């Protein structure tokens, strides 16, 4: 009987540890987003969530993902820029890679925001790598 009680308690301990790990990860992600929003606010740049479409904007943030995804038979490097308020897809047409562009890299971009298939996109933005 005592063994059964211990067997039942084991999954609860494991779930509890998993919940703590997920909670710790979620809190660190929230903290990172808050820090990014604060940095954008201090720099005087526009937040991605507030940036108007079809207007030239200057944005800043961290790259979450970078992928090579051909568009119409032409190579295209795609990256997701996140600033804590939202995300935008950056697309460099005709490029397979760009030195310095990788996940986790911080950069500033300038360009015009468009919407394609419900996703906000900036094609061939001017960019500046940040330390």
- Provide the β-strand partners of residue 108: 60, 128
CATH of the domain at 54: 2.40.50.140
In the chain, the number of structural domains is 1
pTM of this prediction exceeds 0.95: no
Question: Residue 69 sits in which domain range?
Answer: 1-131
Rounded Cα distance between 120 and 3, Å, is 57
pLDDT tens digits along 2-46:
555 555 555 555 567 767 766 665 555 567 667 776 777 677 788
If you write DSSP's letter for every residue of 73-88 in order, what string do you get? TB-EEEEEEE-SS-EE
Tell me, rounded to whole angstroms, the distance of Cα 129 from its chain centroid: 16
């Amino acid at each position: 009987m005592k063994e059964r009680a211990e067997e039942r308690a084991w999954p609860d301990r494991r779930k509890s540890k998993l919940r703590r790990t997920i909670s710790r990860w979620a809190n660190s992600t929230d903290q990172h987003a808050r820090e990014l929003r604060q940095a954008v606010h201090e720099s005087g740049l526009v937040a991605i969530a507030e940036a108007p479409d079809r207007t030239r904007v200057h944005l800043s943030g961290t790259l979450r993902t970078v992928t090579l995804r051909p568009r119409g038979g032409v190579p295209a490097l795609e990256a997701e820029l996140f600033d804590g308020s939202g995300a935008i897809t950056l697309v460099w047409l005709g490029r397979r890679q760009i030195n310095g562009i990788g996940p986790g890299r911080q950069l500033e971009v300038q360009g015009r925001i468009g919407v394609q298939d419900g996703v906000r996109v900036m094609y061939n933005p001017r960019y500046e790598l940040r330390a």
